[in-house]
């Protein structure tokens, strides 16, 4: 069995991507390491990748996650002996994670999922409620195999599965992963939750002004609506997007979130 690694970077230098640097440390276990650069600012990532024997792709704009993933899938050989490790640019990976992945791909699972922790909370895997609500778990023992979902970073997928299922390009960023896992459940994929943990920082979302938060909310709103439509629960979308807007309008003392709820168009 072979493994390719795919790291999507956004407005970050590769030299500062802790997930990429960890992958390079374990480069011997990979068939290829691939970077797709969604950055909208100039950087030296192409040079860095060339110097480190990394395959580099970019369209010199932000395609979003789903299109970036599908772009790479169209470039690689989708075979039954190849797995694709998908990583965000800001995930802290552990040696135990790499070793366990290398071991478990020999057992012919369709999807491997690490335990992803952020601020002492397990954020992945999780359970789905009401067809579309992501419900965090307290313990890995709380996972329901019939309702399992997960985030992208650290997920390892048998590339043969991509012949029948790709990423939904109508979803730009949020819920790309949960929509993928929804179809994986429908297709009865063999999913293995690993014992090893990795750590997500979400550093790109920590310090943003109101303008940036408005843009981020606009993306979230559109993606969440597509996802809820796919889950046949549009009522859940309207209830939760309004709740989100009200809570953030209070938190930031700004009505921009409420105005965004009723904004039409792209």
Distance CA 157, CA 190 (A): 10
- Categorize the per-residue pLDDT at 263 as very low, low, confident or very high, splitting at 50, 70 and 90: confident
- Categorize the per-residue pLDDT at 205 as very low, low, confident or very high, splitting at 50, 70 and 90: very low
pTM of the model: 0.94
Query: Tell me, what's the pLDDT at 138?
Result: 96
CATH for 2-204 (3.40.190.10, 3.40.50.300, 3.90.550.60, 3.40.30.10): 3.90.550.60
Instruction: Please state the domain extents for the chain.
Output: 2-204, 207-261
Residue 83's closest CA among 109, 56, 59?
109
Distances (CA, A) of 28 to 60, 112, 174: 29, 20, 32
Decide: 122 and 137 in contact? Cβ < 8 Å. Answer: yes
- Categorize the per-residue pLDDT at 265 as very low, low, confident or very high, splitting at 50, 70 and 90: low
Q: What percent of the chain has pLDDT over 90?
A: 87
Decide: 154 and 97 in contact? Cβ < 8 Å. Answer: yes
pLDDT digit string (tens) for 18-77? 999 999 999 999 999 999 999 999 999 999 999 999 999 999 999 999 999 999 999 999
Asked if pLDDT for residue 113 goes beyond 80, the answer is yes
Mean pLDDT computed over 88-104: 97
């Amino acid at each position: 069995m072979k493994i390719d690694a795919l790291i999507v970077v956004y407005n970050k230098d590769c030299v500062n991507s802790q997930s990429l640097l960890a992958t390079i440390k374990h480069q011997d276990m990979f068939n290829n390491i691939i970077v797709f650069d969604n950055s909208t600012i100039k950087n030296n990532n192409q040079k860095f990748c060339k110097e480190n024997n990394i395959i580099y792709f970019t369209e010199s704009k932000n395609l979003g996650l789903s299109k970036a993933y599908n772009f790479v899938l169209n470039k690689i050989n989708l075979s039954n002996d190849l797995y694709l490790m998908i990583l965000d640019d800001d995930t802290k990976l552990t040696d135990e994670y790499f070793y366990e992945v290398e071991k478990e791909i020999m057992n012919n699972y369709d999807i491997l999922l690490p335990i992803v922790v952020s601020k002492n909370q397990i954020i992945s895997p999780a359970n789905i409620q009401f067809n579309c609500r992501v419900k965090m778990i307290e313990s890995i023992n709380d996972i329901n195999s019939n309702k399992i979902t997960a985030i992208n970073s650290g997920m390892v997928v048998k590339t043969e599965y991509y012949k029948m299922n790709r990423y939904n390009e109508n979803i730009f960023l949020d819920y790309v992963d949960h929509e993928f896992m929804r179809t994986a459940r429908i297709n009865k994929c063999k999913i293995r939750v690993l014992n090893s943990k990795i750590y997500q920082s979400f550093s790109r979302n920590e310090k943003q002004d109101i303008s940036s938060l408005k843009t981020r909310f606009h993306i979230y709103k559109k993606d969440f609506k597509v996802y809820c439509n796919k889950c046949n629960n549009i009522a859940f979308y309207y209830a939760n997007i309004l709740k989100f807007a009200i809570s953030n309008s209070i938190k930031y003392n700004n009505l921009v979130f409420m105005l965004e709820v009723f904004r039409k168009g792209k």
